[in-house]
Chain A
Amino acid sequence: AQKVTQAQTEISVVEKEDVTLDCVYETRDTTYYLFWYKQPPSGELVFLIRRNSFDEQNEISGRYSWNFQKSTSSFNFTITASQVVDSAVYFCALFTGGGNKLTFGTGTQLKVEL
């Protein structure tokens, strides 16, 4: 069985604050892929990043960074100097070959206020 836990249901920050969204996953497969998606208020789902289980390098893309730690089964997402446009629901997801499906967490609603 595979599972993704996003314990933070909602986070509110003031613009320019840094914020970290947590993602903890469970799987018995040794090969798997982790994803983050963004769902802005308009409702579409936007792909942000993919990471495979053999690549533990951290990733930075502009104000976004991701910290993958197999030892703690976590794939956390940090937004530096948050902006109002970052307000959205963020989903972490896990794909395993054994399960042959993409499993989503319940999402974290991020609200960035002025």
Chain B
Amino acid sequence: NAGVTQTPKFQVLKTGQSMTLQCAQDMNHEYMSWYRQDPGMGLRLIHYSVGAGITDQGEVPNGYNVSRSTTEDFPLRLLSAAPSQTSVYFCASTKSRYTEAFFGQGTRLTVV
């Protein structure tokens, strides 16, 4: 069982570059979300989706875009990378809003 798959695992970007972090789940979960993890700050919600075609902002959405065209995929786009976006990014999916989240392995992003 693949669960939640994130790619890439590591990425270095130059300031101003754009990129897409991929996230796919094979559990037919409706609810998907993106978090960033920074030292001493826990995990903070960037964007989330309650189903295909529906997305909403989380706690720290600035500089990021998402879309949800299928149930399986929930990519996160960095429009113009900044050093402040250096972080570890986690994608998660849940069967319903109240159930436990399954997380991907994370993407360590460095913006120089």
Query: Footprint of B on A, CB under 8 Å?
Result: 4, 6, 9, 33, 35, 43-45, 47, 50, 52, 91, 93, 95, 97, 100-107
- Quote the shortest CB–CB distance from A83 to chain B (angstroms): 23
- Chain B residues within 8 Å of A9, by CB: 40
In the bound assembly, the distance between CA atoms of A97 and B50 in angstroms comes to: 12
- Chain B residues within 8 Å of A91, by CB: 42-43
- Quote the shortest CB–CB distance from B40 to chain A (angstroms): 6
In the bound assembly, the distance between CA atoms of A47 and B92 in angstroms comes to: 12
- Quote the shortest CB–CB distance from A27 to chain B (angstroms): 14
- Chain B residues within 8 Å of A101, by CB: 33, 45, 48, 58-59
The answer to whether the Cβ of B97 comes within 8 Å of any Cβ in the partner chain is yes
- Quote the shortest CB–CB distance from B92 to chain A (angstroms): 8
Interface of chain A, helix or strand or loop or mixed? strand
- Quote the shortest CB–CB distance from B27 to chain A (angstroms): 13
In the bound assembly, the distance between CA atoms of A18 and B59 in angstroms comes to: 35
A-B contact count (CB 8 A): 52
| CB–CB A104/B101 < 8 A | no
| CB–CB A52/B98 < 8 A | yes
- Quote the shortest CB–CB distance from B101 to chain A (angstroms): 6
Which chain B residue lies CB-closest to A44? Answer: B105
| CB–CB A35/B103 < 8 A | no
Per-residue CB proximity of B51-95 to A under 8 Å, as 1/0?
Answer: 000001011000000000000000000000000000010101000
With known contacts A91-B42, A105-B42, A47–B102 Cβ distance under 8 A = yes
The answer to whether the Cβ of B2 comes within 8 Å of any Cβ in the partner chain is no
With known contacts A43-B106, A44-B103, A47-B102, A97–B97 Cβ distance under 8 A = yes
| CB–CB A102/B101 < 8 A | yes
- Chain A residues within 8 Å of B43, by CB: 91, 93, 104
Which chain B residue lies CB-closest to A106? Answer: B42
| CB–CB A45/B103 < 8 A | yes
| CB–CB A100/B97 < 8 A | yes
| CB–CB B90/A95 < 8 A | no
